Amino acid sequence: MSTATAEFELAEPMMLQWLTALGVDVEFVRGEGNTLYFVGPDGAEVPVLDYAGGYGSLILGHNHPGIVGAAREFLDAGTPVLAQASRQTAASRVATALNTVLRREFGVDEPYFAVFSNSGAESIEVALKHAEFDRVLKVKALADGITEHLGAARAALADGTAVLPDAVAAALGLAPGSGIDAVAAEVGGRVAALAARPSLFITLAGGFHGKLVGSVQLTHNPAFRTPFATMAPQARFVPLDRLDALDEVIAQERATVPDLVVDDGVVTVVERDFPVFSAFVLEAIQGEGGIRVVDRAAADRIKAACAAVDCPVVVDEIQSGMGRTGAFFAGSLIGLVPDYVTLAKGLGGGIAKAAVTLVRGGRYRPEFELVHSSTFAKDTFSSTLALTTLELLEADGGAAYRRAADLGERLTALFTALRADFPDVVKDVRGKGLMLGLEFHDQSASAAPSIAQAALTDTFGYAVAGYLFRVHRIRTFPTASATTTLRFEPSVLLTDAEIARLDTALRALAAVLRDQDEEAFTAG
């Protein structure tokens, strides 16, 4: 057994077996623009047109010369990568550049503070932790206020400047004649009971927010989420197409606590809203769940419901952000002003791993900086490449965003024409800009055994991806939680020839599926 084989077998052997079965287990040796190359049996490079785009991380393509140049310059200069607890100007400049974009796209005046991290899931966990930290501090402030008021009521009763009417006991469900000690115990007990509740996050059904311990509980797919359900609090899921459920969840969960105030010499009970909601978390466009676009009406509804109970809105732009949809933030196209917004995937320019959570000034808790950190977060290399990426995206008045929108329209027209020509094969076309999904009809009744089998085992999109790779040298994958939808997330460098190649390949695929052609589907 060669060393190379042994290494591969130890690093996710099951995954490799599965890639082999699909015929996509090549090793890419070079990447440029939208093309990846592997070495064929004759020793020559074989180009593959990459529509998977690092699952949406490559808005500027593989190895963009501007980003490679910045990386080279950085390394040649001997710039230190890891100098934690020092002034880190590159990261500060990334935060400033992102604030410029936030102001322009959302019209906000408030600053957003940046907490850097290393991956998408981590940037979500930062948002979850910060939101919970904020809530817990609010709970503490509320509890302290209630304790202080109780003390004031006790003092007023002791010095005879106030009376305790039976209405107080009645309001608290206590026996008539209960004294201030019983009242205080009841109030304290209610506050303590609510404070002990686990944190509560609300999110959309079909969403994907990562696979770490906390974030996976907001990732809807039960296969990813339920084995780990006891490790972190459960989120409440509401369907995007039935947002009434959001009002129902809020009505079920919202809670008040009693506070005692002395009013004109009389102790009375005032119910105060208890901060039970940690955050509402959503993608501006659902990616991994099948490319489902959140529209303006849904955004308005979510914002209004959350504002009514002071629940912060976390917008996950890890896949939809960085200019892919025709704006830097997809949420800006639907007025989804975030309290928190997360970026990852494309932030490091397709070369470095970088992620950031931006927190609206009004919600930001500077003390969070003392309780959260990561060795690698905010490192100079990824921050420098993030800055270069932002400069490239913002250049020429945002030409990249216009190009993404324009290319998106052309790809959408291609998919729509395909659906018109193959209505029994193509079910739906969804998405915005260069974040597009093509959904296929159920093929489980196909006369071609490989097609039917894939459909029956929920692996249809992977089988189709295998066909496109083997026969047409095009790389794409289904969205992992909606496997009859192929996703297309190429870079803004996409050319006419590359669009034409996709057209040819998809038309051939659609014909194979329509004709239930086993031989053609398993070719290559």
Contact residues for ligand F0G, defined by CB under 6 A: 55-56, 119-121, 124, 208-210, 283, 287-288, 316, 318-319, 344, 480
Which of 116, 521 has the CB closer to ligand F0G? 116
Bridge partner list, 226: none
Q: Which residues contact 147 (CB under 8 A, 6 or more apart)?
A: 188
What b/e string do you get for 206-227 counting C-beta neighbours within 10 Å, with b at 16 or more?
Answer: bbbbbebebbbbbbbbeebbee
Strands, DSSP E only, in 95-218? 112-117, 200-204
Q: Report, in Å, the least distance between residue 210 CB and ligand F0G.
A: 4
Minimal distance, residue 419 CB to ligand F0G, in Å: 24
Is the CA virtual torsion 374, 376, 379, 382 positive or negative? Answer: negative
Q: Which residue lies nearer to ligand F0G by CB, 37 or 55?
A: 55
Phi, psi of 309 (to 5 degrees): -120, 20
Query: Min. distance of Cβ 218 from ligand F0G in angstroms?
Result: 9
Q: Please report how close the Cβ of residue 345 comes to ligand F0G at its closest, in angstroms.
A: 6
Kindly state the smallest distance separating residue 344's Cβ from ligand F0G, in Å.
Answer: 5
Pick between residue 56 and residue 275 the one whose CB is nearest to ligand F0G: 56
Quickly tell me which residue has 């025709």 as its tokens. 326
CB of 407 to ligand F0G, least distance (A): 19
For 134, 145, 271, the CA distances from 139, given in Å and listed in that order, are: 9, 10, 14
Q: What is the smallest separation between the CB atom of 288 and ligand F0G, expressed in angstroms?
A: 4
Closer residue to ligand F0G in complex, CB, 56/431 = 56
Identity of the residue, 389 or 522, whose beta carbon is nearer to ligand F0G in the bound complex: 389
Provide the b/e sequence for 73-110 (b: ≥16 CB within 10 Å).
ebeeeeeeeeeeeeebebbebbbebbbebbeebbeeee
SS3 (DSSP) at 439: strand
CA proximity to 136, closest of 204, 75, 197: 197
Query: Which residue type does 233 have?
Result: P
For ligand F0G, the closer of residues 216 and 337 by Cβ is 216
Nearer to ligand F0G, 275 or 490 (CB): 490
Cβ-based nearer residue to ligand F0G, 214 or 408: 214
Q: Which is nearer to ligand F0G, 384 or 479 (CB)?
A: 479
In the complex, the smallest distance separating the C-beta of residue 331 from ligand F0G, rounded to whole angstroms, is 12
* Most distant pair of Cα atoms in the chain: their distance: 99
Burial of residue 481 (CB within 10 Å: 0-12, 13-18, 19+) is buried
Record the tokens describing residue 190, joined without a space: 């209610």
Among residues 383 and 483, whose Cβ is nearest to ligand F0G?
483
Identity of the residue numbered 279 = A
Token pair belonging to 45: 């490079």
Residue nearest to ligand F0G according to CB distances in the complex: 120
Residue 315: partners with Cβ closer than 8 Å, 6 or more residues away:
282, 283, 284, 329, 331, 336, 338, 340, 341, 342
Minimum distance of ligand F0G from residue 377's CB (angstroms): 13
Q: How far is the CB of 28 from ligand F0G (least distance, A)?
A: 18
> In degrees rounded to 5, what are phi and psi of residue 108?
-85, 150
